Amino acid sequence: MFEDTIAAISTSALSAGAISIVRLSGKDCFDVLNRVFRCRAEKYEGYRIYYGHIVDPLNEEVVDEVLVSIFRAPHSFTGENMAEINCHGGLYITRRILTLLLSCGARQALNGEFTKRAFLNGRIDLTQAEAVNDLITADSHGSARLAVNSLSGSVSRLLKPLISDLEQVIAHIEVNIDYPEYDDNGIITASEIAPLMDDWLSRCDRILQAAESTMIIREGIRTVIVGKPNVGKSSLLNALLAQDKAIVSEYAGTTRDLVEGDIHLGNVTLHLIDTAGIHKSDDYVESIGIQKSLQALQQAQLVIVILDGSAPLDQQDQEILARTESRNRIVVYNKADIERHDGQICVSALNGDVEQLVERINEMFASSQLALDQPVLSNERQISLMRQAREYISQAQLQLSDGIPLDLLNEDIQAAYRCLKEILGQYSREDLLDGIFSRFCVGK
């Protein structure tokens, strides 16, 4: 499909390491390789590794001693002939080898171009291509598991039954319109389509719900730590992050700005936000801080309310408890080194004793962990197309109940069908593809 052979450094090109990999892919891959690679083999077989030397073809000077993995089309990542040169990982050596390949007929690969070829050559669908990048950029166990799951083609397995049901109904309506005399299939009626639509909608809803709950795992749970002044909010942030990020002092009203940090607990990532203590303040700067706390509280997906366990609860604590009552929250009694409260979640931020809180968080998100192993849509692009598909089906359903003829309603069903196909990249426009692949690193 592609005329040119592309090359790139596939390992990190920014730092030295023991080994680096320079990748080549394309029709003329082995011709380009032969110009710089000297080894005993006369012919390369796929799935074999060859020992030899990279030389400068101008003077046969040995540049490096290498191992080259060979993949023959179509049995390679890109579906084309491919070679991966495992060389020594010095920055100079790796770049020199790449330069030699470029001077021998290869072209520098663009970001994500290997994966783009894999997609365009039909080796993987668009969701799998996206999963390659998600896996490379995954920064937690949870997001890596999700990416591995989509890499195996789980999104396409998830959507195919729905796509194929829509396809059948579209085809049936079209046959009825175009060939009214051809009635082997019978004429499909509104009363037959209505229950199908209910079913499609509930399938869309299930897929969307699962996607939204796992997005939380990928992106981190926006978690706000609130409480009145001096209860130990900043101390708790520091204890959870295991670093002195926020200023702690015995003076009430120390924190004014939001202080943020990420932690990985088991499979979930929390995006923690420490806030100014909430109370009535006459201090101008502190009241701006309190406004920010209230805003952060509104946007939070999880709220940790801290109480000072060493003192009786007062009016300020009661107000914060009332304000957060309907929220997804955990109430924590701090200063457990002074006083413990049986049956409550007790921590001592001062001593770094936060185990009960961590256990509670893991318990809360245990069900989303289970979802990690289910096939699930894995990014905003996929989710928004799914929402659009749902919207078109729901419009078609409304039209059906208004008695609109099936041939008109078929347009909405087709639009829903196109959205679902586009998730898998089967309706993609060129600019859409460029947008997706340019986020990749070179060499993938």
Question: Is there binding between residue 234 and Mg ion (CB under 5 A)?
Answer: yes
Supply the minimum distance, in Å, between the C-beta of residue 210 and Mg ion: 37
Tokens of 435: 């947008």
Nearest CB to ligand GTP, comparing residues 42 and 250: 250
Supply the minimum distance, in Å, between the C-beta of residue 132 and ligand GTP: 42
Q: Binding segment for ligand GTP among 114-122, 183-191, 216-224, 227-235 (CB under 6 A)? A: 227-235
Q: Binding segment for Mg ion among 30-38, 162-170, 226-234, 306-314 (CB under 5 A)? A: 226-234
**Residues 6+ positions from 169 with CB-CB distance below 8 Å:** 188, 193, 196, 413
Supply the minimum distance, in Å, between the C-beta of residue 257 and ligand GTP: 10
**Residues 6+ positions from 131 with CB-CB distance below 8 Å:** 147, 148, 149, 150, 151, 378
- Which one of 56, 337, 391, 411 is in contact with ligand GTP (CB under 6 A)? 337
- Which one of 128, 140, 176, 334 is in contact with ligand GTP (CB under 6 A)? 334
Which of ligand GTP, Mg ion, none does residue 337 bind to, with CB < 5 to 8 Å depending on kind? Answer: ligand GTP
The answer to whether 126 touches 428, Cβ cutoff 8 Å, is yes
Amino acid at residue number 430: E
Q: What is the per-residue burial (b if ≥16 Cβ within 10 Å, else e) of 358-375?
A: eeebeeebeebbebbeeb
Nearest CB to Mg ion, comparing residues 254 and 356: 254
* Contacts of 198-207 spanning 24+ positions with Cβ under 8 A: 198/397, 200/162, 200/165, 200/166, 200/393, 200/416, 201/390, 201/393, 201/394, 201/397, 203/162, 204/162, 204/386, 204/389, 204/390, 204/393, 205/390, 207/158, 207/159, 207/376, 207/377, 207/386
Question: Is there binding between residue 248 and ligand GTP (CB under 6 A)?
Answer: yes
Tokens of 238: 């520091």
Which of Mg ion, ligand GTP, none does residue 253 bind to, with CB < 5 to 8 Å depending on kind? Answer: ligand GTP
Q: Binding segment for ligand GTP among 69-77, 292-300, 344-352, 423-431 (CB under 6 A)? A: 344-352
3-state secondary structure of 202: helix
Nearest CB to ligand GTP, comparing residues 354 and 400: 354
DSSP letters, 407-422, are HHHHHHHHHHHHHHHH
Alpha carbon distance 81, 34 (integer Å): 13
Which of ligand GTP, Mg ion, none does residue 349 bind to, with CB < 5 to 8 Å depending on kind? Answer: ligand GTP
What's 400's DSSP letter? H
Supply the minimum distance, in Å, between the C-beta of residue 224 and ligand GTP: 13
Which of Mg ion, ligand GTP, none does residue 112 bind to, with CB < 5 to 8 Å depending on kind? Answer: none
Q: Please count the other Cβ atoms lying within 10 Å of the Cβ belonging to residue 167.
A: 16
Supply the minimum distance, in Å, between the C-beta of residue 228 and ligand GTP: 7
What's 245's DSSP letter? -
- Which one of 52, 89, 153, 253 is in contact with ligand GTP (CB under 6 A)? 253
Q: Binding segment for ligand GTP among 102-110, 130-138, 243-251, 293-301 (CB under 6 A)? A: 243-251
Residues from 171 through 190 that contact ligand GTP (CB under 6 A): none
- Which one of 255, 267, 379, 397 is in contact with ligand GTP (CB under 6 A)? 255
Q: Binding segment for ligand GTP among 39-47, 171-179, 245-253, 430-438 (CB under 6 A)? A: 245-253
User: With contacts defined by CB under 6 A, how many residues of the chain interact with ligand GTP?
Assistant: 24
Question: Is there binding between residue 226 and ligand GTP (CB under 6 A)?
Answer: no
Supply the minimum distance, in Å, between the C-beta of residue 365 and ligand GTP: 25
Q: Please count the other Cβ atoms lying within 10 Å of the Cβ belonging to residue 73.
A: 16
Position closest to ligand GTP via CB: 277
Which of ligand GTP, Mg ion, none does residue 320 bind to, with CB < 5 to 8 Å depending on kind? Answer: none
Chain position carrying tokens 């080894």 = 39
Q: Please count the other Cβ atoms lying within 10 Å of the Cβ belonging to residue 381.
A: 17
DSSP letters, 92-130, are HHHHHHHHHHHHTT-EEPPTTHHHHHHHHTTSS-HHHHH
Closest Cα partner for 64 from 105, 35, 92, 29? 92
Supply the minimum distance, in Å, between the C-beta of residue 355 and Mg ion: 22
Which of ligand GTP, Mg ion, none does residue 23 bind to, with CB < 5 to 8 Å depending on kind? Answer: none
Is the backbone peptide bond immediately before 375 cis, with ω within 30 degrees of 0? Answer: no
Closest Cα partner for 331 from 267, 248, 250, 236? 236
Question: Is there binding between residue 254 and ligand GTP (CB under 6 A)?
Answer: yes
Q: Mask 237-276, x = binds Mg ion (CB under 5 A)?
A: -----------------xx---------------------
Residues from 276 through 305 that contact ligand GTP (CB under 6 A): 276-277
Judged by the rule CB under 5 A, the positions of this chain that interact with Mg ion are 233-234, 254-255
